[in-house]
Amino acid sequence: MDYHIDRKIVLATESEYKNLYSWHLKELDDAGNQIGRDQIPWEWSLYFTARNLRLRDFLEVALDDEGKPAAGNASRHIVGELTPGRFAGNELERIPRYSMFGTDRIIEDFSLEIRVTHENRPDETCEAWGGISFDSDVDFSATTEPDLVIFYLFVTPERFVHYSQMIESGAIDQVTLSLKNVPGFYSDWSPSISTYDVKVLVQGDSQEIEIPDGCDIEPPRLGTIRQANIEFLRVREFPQFKKTHSEDSASEDEGILSKIGIQPEPADKDEKLIALLKGVRNVGWVIVGLLAFMLMRM
């Protein structure tokens, strides 16, 4: 399969920052020049927000070798599209740029699948799987598959039923997935616990790494995530605490006036002024009416 890889990936154990990390991955162009900074496993939290969630029921029926109906294979999953970052108020924040090792393409296809634990997978875990873009030819139709990352969250049957009921009843306004210490996620060293550029190393051998002779380091690839948190948020505004737009605007205006040293006039003075203006307006209309009456009599 011809994967869309544009750069060489090299593992290096020599660095001017050996006191910070003992090894790193780097990307090289065709001339052997390094592109970007040294990349090391990223151990801090990263966030994703769901664009949608869907309940998917699947049923497979077939005949056995003797032509008799075999037991059906049924399953139910929760699937959804993700976008990097998390909401702070009404705005997404902490949005890194994700790209596959060996490319400069931004990964735009992130998704979540919530499945039920089973006999071969009894524990609640979260796993990451990724795929590199490649060309495919199906029925003489050439298509390009995109770079993608899928997170599989395995939960108990009881928890799955609870999540399903929330989706069916529409009792969810926001879903945030928080991941920490994801194998296969890399970034450059930073004293901060946040990053804005993440490189991804998927499972398998689609991204070949040049490793020095005698080096026994196996760079982590996508797999089981050490810590995953998922938050289902339901928001309801209580009417007794709601402010009208005019109240909010008035409050903001008073705050601005106070900052520049102007004290707003008391409300009772404003009411008196409004009453006076209304009186003047009424008198004006009376005068206009009298003038019109006199002109009609002339």
Task: Name the one residue in this structure whose structure tokens are 């928080």.
Answer: 178
The pLDDT of residue 296: 54
pLDDT at 248: 56
**pLDDT for res 253:** 56
At residue 183, the pLDDT reads 98
pLDDT in tens, the chain (298 residues): 789 999 999 999 988 888 899 999 999 999 999 999 999 999 999 999 999 999 999 999 998 888 888 888 888 999 999 999 999 888 898 899 999 999 999 999 999 999 999 888 899 999 999 999 999 877 777 889 999 999 999 999 999 999 999 999 999 999 999 999 999 999 999 899 899 999 999 999 999 999 999 999 999 999 999 999 999 999 888 888 876 555 555 555 555 555 555 555 555 555 555 565 556 566 555 565 565 555 555 5
Q: Beta strand 8-12 with 197-200: parallel, antiparallel or unpaired? A: unpaired
* CA angle, residues 19, 20, 25, in degrees to nearest 5: 115
The confidence score (pLDDT) of residue 69 equals 86
**What confidence score (pLDDT) does residue 119 get?**
86
Residue 240 has what pLDDT? 82
Supply the pLDDT for residue 64.
86
What pTM value is reported for the model?
0.78
Lookup: tokens for 36: 């970007």
Please give the pLDDT value at position 177: 98
